[in-house]
């Protein structure tokens, strides 16, 4: 199954209050295995960046001033995500901004039924624990040493690894594939043959071997098992 793990960076918390998306990063997964394909874009928000938001992701007014508008890259984005489920951490936030930008340019919204929220998964699996992306990376041993500030593509790549752990660990990408006379393990759609089974071979003693064994046993004096044989 194809899934897209994504993250956004914004000018603030409320699109209805004038905040805009300034970055999106999307990572493609197939059967919970990263394919290496991704989509990444920065957008000119057509407004100034608040200092509080800049402190989180480091995206400045100068840096974003020559970036394209969301409308300029929307076709590439929609082609990449297609109709796949969309995985995000605190997904309602990212979906809210994505759909706000789509609605703003008159494009159909992304249906909420496609939303997979890793925050909900984490709260269900580890109630009472910390559920930030940093905390989950630490819990599952995902290397986040290169994460100095938030970044949409980097965070999506980290989240993809966390998502695998939240949904069963690395083994979920492996499936047993039945083939004629063999068993294969499929990491995606390309099976890797592990071994071929052969019919069981008959294994029993021949008549002459049984005769030699009985003759050998008859020569034993007071064998141990004779002590436990029933009298009679």
Q: Are residues 131 and 154 in the same domain?
A: yes
Q: Are residues 58 and 161 in the same domain?
A: yes
Q: Confirm whether 83 is domain-assigned.
A: yes
pLDDT on residue 223: 75
d(CA 25, CA 77): 10
Which tokens sit at 33? 């295995």
Q: Are residues 209 and 102 in the same domain?
A: no
Which parts of the chain are beta strand (E)?
A: 2-10, 21-30, 33-42, 86-88, 115-117, 175-179, 182-186, 191-196
Maximum Cα–Cα distance across the chain:
105
57 labelled as ligand-binding? yes
Phi, psi of 95 (to 5 degrees): -65, -40
Instruction: Classify residue 111 by its DSSP letter.
Output: P
Q: Confirm whether 226 is domain-assigned.
A: no
Q: Confirm whether 60 is domain-assigned.
A: yes
* Burial class of 113 by CB neighbour count within 10 A (0 to 12, 13 to 18, 19+): exposed
Instruction: Classify residue 19 by its DSSP letter.
Output: -
9 labelled as ligand-binding? yes
7 labelled as ligand-binding? yes
Q: Confirm whether 144 is domain-assigned.
A: yes
Q: Are residues 198 and 131 in the same domain?
A: no
Q: Are residues 95 and 201 in the same domain?
A: no
Greater model confidence, 128 or 228: 128
Which tokens sit at 67? 């970036």
Q: Confirm whether 228 is domain-assigned.
A: no
**CA-wise closest residue to 7 among 19, 16, 22:** 22
Q: Are residues 160 and 180 in the same domain?
A: no
**CATH number assigned to the domain comprising residue 127:** 3.30.420.10
Q: Are residues 87 and 192 in the same domain?
A: no
Domain end point (choices 170, 190, 210): 170
**CA-wise closest residue to 8 among 88, 108, 102:** 88
Q: Are residues 45 and 151 in the same domain?
A: yes
Greater model confidence, 203 or 150: 150
Q: Confirm whether 112 is domain-assigned.
A: yes
213 noted as active-site residue: no
pLDDT on residue 203: 66
38 labelled as ligand-binding? no
178 confidence band (pLDDT: 50, 70, 90)? very low
Domain end point (choices 170, 186, 211): 170
Q: Are residues 165 and 191 in the same domain?
A: no
Q: Domain range spanning residue 210?
A: 174-220
Q: Are residues 48 and 147 in the same domain?
A: yes
Q: Confirm whether 231 is domain-assigned.
A: no
Average pLDDT, the chain: 87
Coil, strand or helix: which one is 57? helix
Q: Confirm whether 95 is domain-assigned.
A: yes
**CA-wise closest residue to 6 among 188, 163, 159:** 159
Which residue in 40, 150, 203, 213 is the catalytic one?
Answer: 150
| Structural domain count of the chain | 2
Q: Span 200-216, mean pLDDT?
A: 77
């Amino acid at each position: 199954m194809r899934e897209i793990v994504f993250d956004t960076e914004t000018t603030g918390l409320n699109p209805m209050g004038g905040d805009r998306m300034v970055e999106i990063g999307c990572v493609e997964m197939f059967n919970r295995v990263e394919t290496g394909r991704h989509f990444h874009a920065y957008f000119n928000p057509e407004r100034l960046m608040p200092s509080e938001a800049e402190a989180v992701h480091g995206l400045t007014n100068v840096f974003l001033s020559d970036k394209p508008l969301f409308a300029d890259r929307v076709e590439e984005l929609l082609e990449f995500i297609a109709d796949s489920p969309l995985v995000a951490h605190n997904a309602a936030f990212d979906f809210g901004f994505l759909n706000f930008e789509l609605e703003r340019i008159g494009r159909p919204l992304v249906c909420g039924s496609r939303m997979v929220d890793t925050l909900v998964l984490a709260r269900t699996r580890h109630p009472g624990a910390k559920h930030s992306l940093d905390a989950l990376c630490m819990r599952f041993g995902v290397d986040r040493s290169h994460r100095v500030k938030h970044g949409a593509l980097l965070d999506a790549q980290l989240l993809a690894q966390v998502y695998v752990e939240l949904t069963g660990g690395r083994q979920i990408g492996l499936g047993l594939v039945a083939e004629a006379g063999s068993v294969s393990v499929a990491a995606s759609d390309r099976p890797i043959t592990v071994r071929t089974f052969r019919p069981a071979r008959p294994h029993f003693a021949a008549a002459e071997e049984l005769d030699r064994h009985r003759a050998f046993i008859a020569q034993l004096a007071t064998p141990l098992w004779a002590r436990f044989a029933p009298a009679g």
